[in-house]
């Protein structure tokens, strides 16, 4: 069976400034007897070596790097058309490429996968009865949550989000008129998309695969001098809202009780002031903006705090931490669409201020929370393994073993 894959991003083992790891994991775990032709838009030059290395590992029949039009008049026309349809800017970045479409149609693929939904404009040019578009998350749900839960101070800050909400609503309505399937990694995202597009059966949910991981280097009960707590992903994004500030303040208030037992590792940008605040009250803190091997770097930690005020779909960094064996502490959005249970597999905070008391409880019950982290790791490595989730994806996309697949999904969603 021949499948053409058209991606706005090069598939790579780890995300490189965009959601590039999801297609990598799915393509790295294809079903038998699939011939995959990959067409992708390139990343920036600084990632060329990574992209080349990672794509060479994938079981692909052919690879074609796409080039956006260089002609300025064509570029202006594409942007004008996008504004006229009132679609999000991302759609204009990845326009249909005539040469690629001709090549795809000549190859007569049995199925075509477009990743992500910004490639919607390609659909009408492709001669294929089985086309899948990955939305990943519902962009409309994302915008609604950003507006509701983002840490906004002025109307000028929030007004662009209303524009994006309108544009993404138009895009999801347009997607609903097309003869395609829609793949998402969030249950609430599927429900929101069905409501917006008025297509109750077009979209389906597949659990997000975890990324490659390195198991934790020690355990909570190993009588360590200090337990390493990780923050990663960035400290000044809309996604953290005011949660990070409130958590840091609670840690400062409890510094006398916590600093002898815990130390902090920050990975990513935007943490400058937060790590200084913790240092100033006596905590041991390490701060790095970039690591070459993220999987190995986080394996030094035993706890990770996820101050996520805004979120949709599934959080790849949360999955990776849990698979590593790290104890997760976070908001409801942090663990959304991950097949684990609060109190059994992770610590769910009701208020960000509760994190300090959560850590005191961990200190006094190390074995209990070590078992909690182990439980989460087992479930994530099973229910979100790249092999398992990719098999679900290909079965649903290509309609293979329908009855078996349906039973698997029902059981998975129950857990």
Model confidence band, residue 400 (pLDDT cutoffs 50, 70, 90): low
Residue 184 shares a structural domain with residue 293 = no
**170 in the same domain as 252:** no
Model confidence at 406: pLDDT above 60? no
Are residues 406 and 270 located together in one domain of the fold?
Answer: no
Domain housing 254: 227-383
Asked if 347 and 355 count as a contact pair (C-beta separation under 8 A), the reply is no
For residue 159, the surrounding DSSP H or E stretch is helix 155-176
Tell me what pLDDT residue 5 has.
99
Are residues 137 and 122 part of one domain? yes
Split at pLDDT 50, 70, 90, the class of 411 is: very low
- In this structure, the answer to whether residues 48 and 129 fall within a common structural domain is yes
Structure tokens at 281: 């009250």
What average pLDDT does the structure give for the chain?
Answer: 93
Same domain, 57 and 88: yes
**Is 74 a domain residue?**
yes
User: Do 317 and 405 fall within a single domain?
Assistant: no
Query: Tell me, what's the pLDDT at 288?
Result: 96
* Residue 412 clears pLDDT 90, i.e. is over it: no
Give bridge partners of residue 111 from the DSSP assignment: 3
* Whether residue 254 sits in one domain with residue 198: no
What was the pLDDT predicted at 151?
Answer: 82
User: Are residue 73 and residue 151 in the same domain, yes or no?
Assistant: yes
SS3 assignment, position 380? helix
Residue that has been written with the tokens 């509760």 in this structure: 354
Let me know how long the chain is.
415
Is 216 a member of any domain?
Answer: no
Task: Give the model confidence (pLDDT) of 20-75 as tens digits.
Answer: 999 999 999 998 899 999 999 999 999 999 999 999 999 999 999 999 999 999 99
237 pLDDT higher than 90: no
Evaluated on CA atoms 150, 84, 128, 115, the torsion sign reads: negative
Question: CA dist 239 to 150, 208, 248, 306, Å?
Answer: 7, 19, 16, 10
In a domain, 304, yes or no: yes
Q: Residue 214 falls within a domain, yes or no?
A: no
CA–CA gap between residue 138 and residue 191 (Å, rounded): 9
Residue 107 domain-assigned (yes or no): yes
Flag whether 392 is in a domain: yes
| Mean local confidence (pLDDT), 335-347 | 97
Positive or negative CA dihedral for 9, 12, 13, 14? negative
- CATH number of residue 147's parent domain: 3.40.50.2000
Phi, psi of 43 (to 5 degrees): -90, 180
Q: Would you say residue 410 has pLDDT above 60?
A: no
User: Global pTM?
Assistant: 0.90
Number of other residues whose CB lies within 10 A of the CB of residue 62: 12
Domain count, the chain: 2
Point out which residues pair with 229 in neighbouring strands.
264, 303
Find the mean pLDDT for residues 272-296: 95
Whether residue 136 is found in the same domain as residue 64: yes
- C-alpha 84/C-alpha 65 separation (Å) is 29
For the segment 230-235, the average pLDDT, to the nearest whole number, is: 92
Answer yes or no: is 166 within a domain.
Answer: yes
Neighbours of 351 (CB within 10 A): 11
For residue 322 the two structure tokens come to 């849990």
The pLDDT value given to residue 408: 38
* Domain assignment of residue 376, yes or no: yes
Question: Token pair for residue 121?
Answer: 């404009």
Q: How far apart are CA 10 and CA 21, in angstroms?
A: 9
Percent of the chain with pLDDT over 90: 85
The rounded distance, in Å, linking the Cα atoms of 293 and 291 is 5
Residue 271's pLDDT is what? 96
Residues 6+ apart with CB under 8 A from 253: 356
* In a shared domain, residues 48 and 160: yes
Over residues 86-136, the pLDDT tens digits come to: 999 999 999 999 999 999 999 999 999 999 999 999 999 999 999 999 988
pLDDT for the residue numbered 323: 98
For residues 301 and 197, membership in a common domain is answered with no
pLDDT of 291 over the 80 cut: yes
Burial of residue 409 (CB within 10 Å: 0-12, 13-18, 19+) is: middle
The burial of 108, by beta-carbon neighbours within 10 Å (0-12 exposed, 13-18 middle, 19 or more buried), is given as exposed
Q: Per the structure block, which two tokens stand in for 229? A: 């707590």
């Amino acid at each position: 069976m021949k499948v053409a894959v058209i991606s706005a991003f090069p598939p790579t083992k780890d995300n490189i400034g965009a959601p590039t790891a999801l297609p990598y994991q799915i393509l790295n775990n294809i079903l038998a007897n699939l011939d995959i032709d990959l067409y992708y838009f390139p990343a920036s030059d600084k990632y060329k070596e990574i992209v080349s290395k990672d794509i060479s590992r994938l079981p692909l029949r052919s690879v074609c790097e796409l080039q956006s039009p260089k002609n300025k008049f064509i570029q202006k026309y594409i942007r004008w058309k996008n504004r006229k349809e009132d679609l999000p800017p991302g759609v204009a970045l990845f326009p249909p490429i005539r040469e690629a479409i001709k090549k795809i149609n000549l190859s007569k693929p049995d199925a075509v996968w477009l990743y992500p939904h910004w490639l919607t404009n390609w659909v009408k040019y492709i001669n294929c009865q089985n086309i899948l578009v990955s939305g990943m998350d519902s962009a409309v749900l994302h915008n609604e949550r950003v507006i509701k839960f983002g840490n906004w101070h002025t109307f000028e800050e929030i007004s662009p989000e209303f524009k994006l909400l309108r544009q993404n609503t138009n895009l999801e309505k347009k997607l609903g008129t097309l003869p395609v399937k829609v793949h998402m990694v969030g249950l609430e995202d599927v429900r929101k998309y069905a409501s917006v597009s008025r297509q109750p059966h077009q979209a389906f949910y597949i659990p997000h695969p975890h990324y490659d991981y390195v198991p934790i280097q020690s355990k909570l009960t190993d009588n360590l001098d200090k337990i390493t707590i990780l923050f990663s992903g960035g400290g000044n994004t809309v996604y953290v809202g005011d949660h990070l500030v409130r958590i840091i303040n609670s840690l400062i208030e409890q510094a006398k009780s916590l600093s002898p037992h815990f130390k902090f590792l920050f990975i990513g940008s935007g943490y400058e002031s937060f790590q200084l605040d913790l240092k100033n009250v006596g905590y041991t803190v390490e701060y790095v903006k970039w690591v070459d091997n993220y999987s190995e770097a986080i394996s030094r930690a035993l706890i990770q705090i996820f101050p996520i005020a805004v979120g949709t779909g599934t959080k790849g960094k949360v999955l990776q931490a849990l698979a590593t064996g790290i104890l997760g502490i976070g908001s409801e959005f942090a663990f959304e669409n991950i097949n684990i249970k609060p109190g059994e597999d992770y610590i769910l905070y009701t208020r960000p201020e509760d994190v300090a008391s959560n850590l005191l409880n961990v200190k006094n019950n190390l074995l209990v929370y070590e078992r909690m982290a182990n439980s989460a790791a087992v479930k994530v490595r099973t229910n979100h393994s790249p092999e398992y989730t990719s098999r679900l994806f290909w079965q649903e996309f290509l309609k293979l073993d329908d009855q078996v697949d349906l039973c698997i999904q029902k059981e998975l969603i129950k857990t």
